[in-house]
Structure 1
Amino acid sequence: MKKLMLICLVLLSSKGFSQSFTQNIFSRLEFGIKAGANATNFTNANFPTDPLIGFHAGATVAFKITNNFLFQEEFLFSTQGAKIKGGSLGDQDLKLYYMAVPLLFKYRTNSGFYIEAGAQAGIKIKEDVAGINTDNFAKKVDLGAAGGIGYQSKMGLGLGLRYIYGISKVADVNVSNITNDFKNNAVQASVFYVF
């Protein structure tokens, strides 16, 4: 009988610990949605380019390590690319579509202003490239470093500005007069809401 009571006490206490631990974890999570505009271009390209205007939209989840320091992950559909101005590719909007996953450390002040820095990985979903006889102009994975600033109000509505510096090369194609050294770069302006 003593063993049965001991087992019951252990199970009840572990259930209570498990519930409080789970509640503590969920109380530290912030979920949100965001959308905004992108201005993207290629760097190190040996052909003339201008910035291309696009968009991004998706969901965010952040874990509050402390009240001011967070780790944030986002799942965004994002357009990138550049306006090509002549050369081997002619005049066209070279559009690349990615599922982007930024992983960011964020410091947010008590007044709501924040700074963020981290990395971003993008998985190519689609590309619009005219005049190239290949289905794979851009690589499947695009890597970048990200940093930004912004403001989040107490009710959860916020504005953010972020720069993404391309680390990996965009293309790996064998086309005359085009080097494969160019990289994606983007400036993003976002509106978001955290629940």
Structure 2
Amino acid sequence: MKKNISLFLLAFIFIVNANAQKGVHLIAKGGLNYSKIADNDFNASYHAGASLEIDFSKVVGLQPEILFSQLNNKGTNGNKDDKLNYLSIPLLLRINVSKMFTINVGPEYSILMNKNEKFLGNIQNAFKEGNFSMIGGVQLNLQSFRAYARYDVGLSNLNNTITPKEWKSQNLQVGVGIKIF
């Protein structure tokens, strides 16, 4: 049994190393969010996580990610102060325009992990638990360093109250990443 496990681990390490040389890279990343919900103002927060860059050819690839992302929501009338913490899972198409420049587009699903709501007398559960959105952005690739900017447009109504108004998110992300392998 130990021999089988050792062989499996050895094969796994060999496959990961082979793929790393063929265009699969693990990236640690983090940066700033400028987000808003509905008609409110944009507010700064942050995101951090990891992504895989999987290039199928010199031009096309996939970039799945997993991010912790915080959205701060402060209304113009001052009666809201919400911090929403999401586990975000984008699945982006990579279009490599050149070795240094990549366009990213694709869907993202975010799961609300916890929230600090101060909303109209502390109404509980004012925000729905999931958010589906679309992302478009650009990435600069300099050897092991990445810099990116992208815009995330929410397609889901986040409003979980009895009011009929739709609350959709918008998020501008700028950040940097470092290639691990």
* C-alpha distance in 2 between matches for 1:111 and 1:123: 33
Q: TM-score, normalised by structure 2?
A: 0.82
Q: Percent identity?
A: 23
State the partner residue of 1:109: 97
C-alpha displacement at 1:193, in angstroms? 1.2
Q: 2:138 aligns with which of 122, 129, 149?
A: 149
2:164 pairs with 1:179: yes
2:44 pairs with 1:53: yes
Q: Secondary structure at the match of 1:135?
A: coil
Contact 1:122-1:142 within 8 A present in 2 as well: yes
State the partner residue of 2:179: 194
Which blocks of at least 5 consecutive residues in structure 2 are unaligned?
1-10
Contact 1:70-1:107 within 8 A present in 2 as well: yes
C-alpha displacement at 1:133, in angstroms? 4.2
What code does the residue aligned with 2:125 have?
N
2:36 pairs with 1:37: no
State the partner residue of 1:122: 110
Root mean square deviation of aligned Cα: 2.1
Q: TM-score, normalised by structure 1?
A: 0.77
Q: 2:148 aligns with which of 145, 160, 166?
A: 160
What code does the residue aligned with 1:161 have?
A
Q: C-alpha offsets along residues 101-136 of structure 1, whole Å, 9 cap, x if unaligned? A: 110001123331111100010000111211444431
What code does the residue aligned with 2:114 have?
K
Greater radius of gyration (CA):
1
What code does the residue aligned with 1:80 have?
L
Contact 1:170-1:180 within 8 A present in 2 as well: no
State the partner residue of 2:4: none
Which blocks of at least 5 consecutive residues in structure 1 are unaligned?
1-17
2:82 pairs with 1:94: yes
Contact 1:169-1:182 within 8 A present in 2 as well: yes
Q: How does 1:12-31 map to 2 (within 5 A)?
A: 22=15, 24-26=18-20, 27-31=22-26
Contact 1:41-1:82 within 8 A present in 2 as well: yes
2:59 pairs with 1:71: no
C-alpha displacement at 1:164, in angstroms? 0.2
State the partner residue of 2:53: 62
* C-alpha distance in 2 between matches for 1:179 and 1:93: 20
C-alpha displacement at 1:165, in angstroms? 0.5
Matched positions, count: 166
Contact 1:149-1:160 within 8 A present in 2 as well: yes
Contact 2:150-2:174 within 8 A present in 1 as well: yes
